[in-house]
Structure 1
Amino acid sequence: LQMDPVEVDGSVLEGGGQILRVSAALSCITGSSIKITKIRAGRSTPGLRPQHLSGLQLVSDLCSGVLQGATIGSTDISLTPGKIRSGNHTADTQTAGSVCLLLQVALPCALFAESSSQLCLKGGTNAEMAPQIDYTLKVFKPIVEKFGVNFDCDVRMRGFYPKGGGEVRVSVSPVKHLQPVVLTDRGTITKIHGRAFVAGVLPYKLAKDMCAAAVRTIRKEIKELYINIQALQEKDNAYGNGNGIIIIAESSTGCLFAGSALGKKGVYADKVGIEAAEMLLRNIRHNGCVDEFLQDQLIIFMALANGTSRIRTGAVTLHTQTAIHVAEQLTQAKFTITKSEDELSSNGTNGTYIIQCEGAGVSNTHL
């Protein structure tokens, strides 16, 4: 019995690629057809970019779906999902489009297949406007595993803007259903570590400069902790030239936070290091348990989980509100956001929020 497709307005709230990723993944998992209109309507280049197109094709491939309207620049698409297929799937942005965003859309789908899936994702591993692969491995992966997600990720080749050429192999095990997660106790920050890298023809000194500037910046605010940021030269497993840094803070209760930045032509290495450090500091000033980027990436897992999840965050981002909006439209999940009355909000830092979700308890029918 084919129900009418669920209509998703691609221009609401954040109005970007995230609406596509969350709605396509949930369409695939729930079996509901979707029609997404006004895709990226407010952007300088509206409609689908190579990045979004390869993500949609990957999901359609994963769920043996019928995808219509999927061309570069298209503002309207529809997806009619079939059965989720395990096995091998490849997606190639053919640009520096982010492999991490491809993983974001594909991972939830692969969890609901009948057996394990192998994904070969090609594009940028360390690209602007997207998580760096190091973030996906060091922050996203350990936290999402708390939901019962199990995946392995092998970085075969790093790729940077504008050439791309990176490749990541991911294997995902299926789940019967996801378990809810409660992350409300931050504890204290116990360690700070990271990596600053240069790849291709860029001099090693850049990596050391990014490191030093980052450590100096963090030291102004956090005096007592040992900070270990490694400077690395990537020779063999990098395609093209790039430089960047990611710094991770861990708390006593296992919460993870990150700050990262990528080098660009004409930007001093110091500035890149400082930018990453300031982002990290901003994300640990509140007493939340996730940083601003993990916040929205966990919404789909909370929505699918079997039970009530609660996550303490800093200010709720527009990306998160967007993911919640789409998740509530396509599943039975119910979200509530409440401001915490925590002791820290009195000292002038903006307090924290609890995002609570009664998950839809979606079950894997193929297992």
Structure 2
Amino acid sequence: MAGQSPSLSYMGCNFLRQRLVLATLSGRPVKIRQIRAKEEDPGLRDFEASFIRLIDKVTNGSRIEINQTGTTLYYQPGLLYGGSLEHDCSPNRSIGYYLESLLCLAPFVKHPLRIILRGVTNDQVDPSVDVLKATALPLLKKFGIDGEGLELKITRRGMPPKGGGEVVFSCPVRKTLQPIQFTDPGKIKRIRGTAYLFFLSLPAFQEFFFFNFPQTTFYHVWRSPGFGLSLVAETINGTFLSAELASNPQGQGAAVLPEELGQNCAKLLLEEIYRGGCVDSTNQSLVLLLMTLGQQDVSKVLLGPLSPYTIEFLRHLRSFFQIMFKIETKSSDEEHKGGEKVLMTCVGIGFSNLNKTIK
């Protein structure tokens, strides 16, 4: 169990995952007050309570206290334990909501993590398991987190509201990470995609996506109706930029044609390519965390414009780890075309060097 590190205090429900993940890695307790205190339905939501249960499963000896209204949470992290686990995710958020945090924690557990996650694999809110598999796993490999033990296997798919999907995520332990110098994204060499449909006629759907996106893998699954597409552009230097769209859940919003969804998804990918950088906007916080916890050496990465989520993540990194990044703005030029880029530089603190007392 984490020892004498001073606790941090926050207010509100925003960035709950960030705070709990960084508390777990740093060993610092956190207290979060006034969680939706002024709303008609105050307190933690089901998907947040499910996330807290997941954190409790991944750790050993954590202390979690929630008041009767669910508006105050105290979390004192225990040992990052890992092991073989199973977790049923709330259908109100996709598996990606939970998997994003596991990608941050898994390399640093005591025992290699292998976890089965059940729930929604594809929705309109969170990164899909397809995008995380195509973009986050190659990013982990750049830090030396690789080998046969690193895998994200999609065994079943499910859309809201019924879910029914299942994935298996496994990750080897790598408490010493390689520093990176990832400043040249390189030119696009291929674009691939994953299309999926539920309770829909396959031929017309597949004909459209195969004609427009020939390197697309198709999945036909029977549960809640709907369809979607994820696209990933890969460069010659190992940069992966992604975009995705899903149809509206049954009974919500207007119907969307496959042609319209495919065209809009392609436009989103072009916007992501224009923003550019060596890591797409989905994984900005992950690369900055791995740079922070890497060995005590200089790491650099070129990013596109920082998302609001990433900006808040940088503030939290400073609070939990007392680390600051050097941020340099790079204007568009012949070498880095597209939108304005940001060069992020830091000296890693080394996960094994964190000042934690383990009992």
Instruction: Please report the TM-score for the alignment, with normalisation by the length of structure 1.
Output: 0.84
Corresponding position: 1:228 with 2:227 = no
Deviations 1:175-233 (A, max 9, x none): 13222222210221111111222133444422433555xx3xxxxxxxxxxx5332624
Q: Which amino acid letter does the alignment assign opposite residue 8 of structure 1?
A: Y
Could you tell me whether the CA contact under 8 Å between 1:33 and 1:79 is conserved in 2? yes
Could you tell me whether the CA contact under 8 Å between 1:208 and 1:231 is conserved in 2? no
What is the distance in 2 between the residues matched to 1:100 and 1:190?
Answer: 27
Q: Which residue of 2 aligns with 1:194?
A: 193
- Deviation of residue 99 (structure 1)? 1.2
Aligned residues: 343
Q: Which amino acid letter does the alignment assign opposite residue 238 of structure 2?
A: G
Could you tell me whether the CA contact under 8 Å between 1:96 and 1:165 is conserved in 2? no
Could you tell me whether the CA contact under 8 Å between 1:36 and 1:77 is conserved in 2? yes
Q: Which amino acid letter does the alignment assign opposite residue 2 of structure 1?
A: Q
Aligned 1:164-313 pairs, distance under 5 A: 164-210=163-209, 212=211, 215=212, 228-230=214-216, 232-235=218-221, 239-264=223-248, 266-306=255-295, 307-313=297-303
Q: Which residue of 2 aligns with 1:222?
A: none
Corresponding position: 1:68 with 2:92 = no
Counterpart selection for 2:46 from 50, 60, 64: 50
What is the distance in 1 between the residues matched to 2:315 and 2:40?
Answer: 24
Q: Which residue of 2 aligns with 1:25?
A: 21
Deviations 1:268-295 (A, max 9, x none): 1112111210111001124422222122
Q: Secondary structure at the match of 2:191?
A: strand
What is the distance in 1 between the residues matched to 2:271 and 2:90?
Answer: 34
Could you tell me whether the CA contact under 8 Å between 1:304 and 1:333 is conserved in 2? no
Change (3 A) 1:135 1:42: farther
What is the distance in 1 between the residues matched to 2:55 and 2:151?
Answer: 19
- Deviation of residue 259 (structure 1)? 1.4
Q: Secondary structure at the match of 2:91?
A: coil
- Deviation of residue 335 (structure 1)? 1.6
What is the distance in 2 between the residues matched to 1:68 and 1:280?
Answer: 42
Q: Which amino acid letter does the alignment assign opposite residue 63 of structure 2?
A: V
Q: Which residue of 2 aligns with 1:159?
A: 158
Change (3 A) 1:270 1:187: same
Change (3 A) 1:142 1:2: same
Could you tell me whether the CA contact under 8 Å between 1:202 and 1:241 is conserved in 2? no
Unaligned runs of 5+ in 1: 216-226
Q: Which amino acid letter does the alignment assign opposite residue 124 of structure 1?
A: V
Q: Secondary structure at the match of 2:98?
A: helix
Deviations 1:39-86 (A, max 9, x none): 478999775332222122111222221112288x83431111122223
Q: Which residue of 1 aligns with 2:8?
A: 6
Change (3 A) 1:356 1:174: same
What is the distance in 2 between the residues matched to 1:146 and 1:43?
Answer: 43
Deviations 1:122-176 (A, max 9, x none): 1111122111111011111111221222421221211111111211111221113
Q: Which residue of 2 aligns with 1:318?
A: 308
Q: Percent identity?
A: 25
What is the distance in 2 between the residues matched to 1:337 and 1:134?
Answer: 31
Q: Secondary structure at the match of 1:334?
A: coil
Unaligned runs of 5+ in 2: none
Deviations 1:288-309 (A, max 9, x none): 2222212233232222222332
Q: Secondary structure at the match of 1:171?
A: strand
Q: Which residue of 2 aligns with 1:340?
A: 330
- Deviation of residue 108 (structure 1)? 2.7
What is the distance in 2 between the residues matched to 1:142 and 1:103?
Answer: 15
Q: Secondary structure at the match of 1:164?
A: coil
Q: Which amino acid letter does the alignment assign opposite residue 291 of structure 1?
A: D
Q: Which residue of 2 aligns with 1:114?
A: 110
What is the distance in 2 between the residues matched to 1:206 and 1:62?
Answer: 40
Counterpart selection for 2:84 from 88, 101, 105: 88
Worse-matched range after superposition: 201-210 or 262-271: 201-210
What is the distance in 1 between the residues matched to 2:268 and 2:40?
Answer: 26
What is the distance in 1 between the residues matched to 2:40 and 2:140?
Answer: 33
What is the distance in 1 between the residues matched to 2:23 and 2:185?
Answer: 34
What is the distance in 1 between the residues matched to 2:67 and 2:201?
Answer: 38
